[in-house]
Amino acid sequence: MTKKDKLQADLEGLVKKWKDKKGNLIMILHSIENIYGYVPRETSLKLSRLLNVPLARIYEVITFYNYFKLEPPGKHNVSICMGTACYLRNADSLIEEIEKILHIKEGQTTKDEMFHLDVVRCLGCCGLAPVMMIDEKVYGKVKKNEIVDILSKYVKEEE
């Protein structure tokens, strides 16, 4: 089964499951996000036809909610906490350093799709501020000069 065939089958199954239920669009979009990690444009176009919903309505929902992404996520998600404790301990300098090293801005993914950068409200580790999380691993009391070494561990794992 090709990727395109799988996409079509996944989408038809989701539409069938949610077709006559209230709030079906958002539930289908959540399922798509869970399967692919983002909502591919091709999927939105097919969903528009299958549900007989204008494409503009689908994008209205996708862009309204922070949960949905329009671009493929990176293999590793880098989250920088900007909660009060982290902010007061110069988390913004960590963001600047990561942007400089990876050549991306907040919400972007590196060209090789290795890293995606998110800035978040709080990671719940205030005593470790400033905090950076990569995937599920928390790095506390991070200093700007440690970032290259931390990121390079993930690059070496891929080699």
Within 13 A of 99's CA, how many CA atoms are on the CB side?
Answer: 13
Range of the structural domain that residue 14 is part of: 3-64
Instruction: Report, in this order, helix, strand and coil percent for the chain, each rounded to 5.
Output: 55, 10, 35
CA 13 vs CA 8, 19, 82, 102, 154: distances in Å: 9, 10, 39, 38, 36
Q: What is the pLDDT of residues 104-156, one digit of tens each?
A: 999 899 999 999 999 999 999 999 999 999 999 999 999 999 999 999 999 98
79 — phi, psi (to 5°)? -115, 130
**Residue 21 domain flag:** yes
Regarding whether 100 and 54 lie in a shared domain, the answer is no
- Domain at 92, CATH number: 3.40.30.10
Cα angle vertex 23, ends 6, 66, to 5°? 75
User: CB atoms < 10 A from the CB of 78, how many?
Assistant: 26
pTM of the predicted structure, to 2 decimals: 0.70
Regarding whether 82 and 27 lie in a shared domain, the answer is no
Number of domains, the chain: 2
State the virtual CA torsion across 118, 113, 60, 43 in degrees, nearest 10. -150
Regarding whether 41 and 102 lie in a shared domain, the answer is no
Regarding whether 80 and 53 lie in a shared domain, the answer is no
Q: What is the pLDDT of residues 38-49, one digit of tens each?
A: 899 999 999 999
**pLDDT number for residue 21:** 85
Surface-to-core class of residue 25, CB atoms within 10 Å of its CB (0-12 exposed, 13-18 middle, 19+ buried): middle
**Residue 30 domain flag:** yes
**Residue 46 domain flag:** yes
Regarding whether 54 and 92 lie in a shared domain, the answer is no
